[in-house]
Amino acid sequence: MRVVVVGTGYVGLVSGACFADFGHHVTCVDKDEAKIASLQRGEIPIFEPDLDRVVQTNAREGRLVFTTDLAGPVGEADVVFIAVGTPSRRGDGHADLSYVYAASREIAKSVQGFTVIITKSTVPVGTGDEVERIIEQVNPSADVAVASNPEFLREGAAVRDFKHPDRIVVGTENPRARKVIGEIYRPLYLNQAPIMYTGRRTAELIKYAANAFLATKITFINEIADLAEKVGADVQEIARGIGLDNRIGSKFLHAGPGYGGSCFPKDTRALIKTAQDYDVPLRILEAVNSVNDTRKRAMARKVAAPFGGNLRGKTVAVLGLTFKPNTDDMREAPSIPLITALRDLGATVRAFDPVGMEQARLEMPDIEYHENAYSCAEGADALVIVTEWEQFRALDLDRLKQEMAAPVVIDLRNVYNPDDLTGRGFLYQSVGRQTKAAG
């Protein structure tokens, strides 16, 4: 089938590349000429495992094309995916749908013959209705069906998630659209990926509800971690104990500095705003949003605690800047408010991240960046693990102690066994577990 993907951001690029890998002919369209030129050279603008191979292979074999021209490919397409950004709108937290609506107008001008137009972007309930209205207004004779097909991709595992999905949600009641979309995903038949057909508004809400629920699980275990510290319990054992219950499950029960990234923060806020528009209070999600925002900055107090709350004249080494491992995404990363708070407390901050430092420099140009964990730790009074990159899980602890001015480790991801650190003379502080000192 001939597929057009409008937008070459995270969702658009991964989706386009994977559809091409299924054997479809895919054209990815973006207005950013520099980005398109880069993709045409085989350069990938984001860090995502295995994505470079999928893009380069399918581009070389002619199934994946990148262009700034929308009209030509859309006129020949069976399916057009809208995969542009829907960031939080400044000032009110609603999803900014201006890019979705602009893409809809451009698509409407160029469609020919029956075409299925699918919102892949995360959009609030009712967006598909507005896209349909825009297309009818711009091109009343257009023979189109507007559907919703939200993505459920984890950054760092997006290619695998696309090819081995838990489910494929398709929001349309149009039988012709269902047939076309079923054909697009037919290559996943052997994987037995269930396709769930729903109404369009239901599909739109499924995406938001899924992200909000996962954000709630993270926030819940983070608050339990705070209680565990006070009462002398171990949050990791608590998480395991409740996660073995099939009704709860073990995923997203890892205590830490709060959630970040491109999805959970903005989607939770957008769902709250949508509910307010319909006069339906979502008190749990309002609390989740508030607690998470506060938590990120509050982690600085945990770092300052071994020094009596005073970081004046202290040097803090931060390992991990991206919001999670295996991505260079810095959007709403916990490291940003944490580092800001550390500096407000008087600390000098230095940092290292395996792939995220280029993006981090755009957010935090005034801190000191290092080439590896050990140079970052040299002369530091405290070392903070913020992102659980695999490279940080097996550090040479004896070398680390030699490099540091003081053997203080604050592990915000509970990467280490406390006894491994205290046995080597460190003061070790983690999340939801008791602070331990050498001896």
Of 164, 163, 165, 130, which is closest to residue 148 (Cα–Cα)? 130
Q: Describe the strand order of the beta sheet including 195-198 as a list of residue ranges.
A: 64-67, 25-29, 2-6, 79-82, 115-119, 144-148, 168-171, 195-198
Tokens representing 116? 């299925």
The span from the CA of 85 to the CA of 123, in Å, is 10
Tokens representing 75? 């006129």
Asked if 128 and 171 touch (Cβ cutoff 8 Å), the reply is yes
- Exposure on the CB side of residue 283, measured as CA atoms within 13 A: 0
Work out whether the CA dihedral 41, 51, 67, 88 comes out positive or negative.
negative
28 part of the active site: no
Please give the torsion angle defined by the CA atoms of residues 9, 12, 13 and 16, in that order, rounded to the nearest 10 degrees.
-170
Amino acid making up residue 245: D
State the catalytic residue, choosing from 18, 28, 263, 376.
Answer: 263
Asked if 392 and 398 touch (Cβ cutoff 8 Å), the reply is no
Quick one: DSSP state of residue 217?
H
Of 84, 88, 126, which is closest to residue 105 (Cα–Cα)? 84
DSSP secondary structure, 104-164, as one string:
HHHHHHH--SSEEEEE-S---TTHHHHHHHHHHHH-TT--EEEEE----PPTTSHHHHHHS
Give catalytic residues, as residue numbers. 263
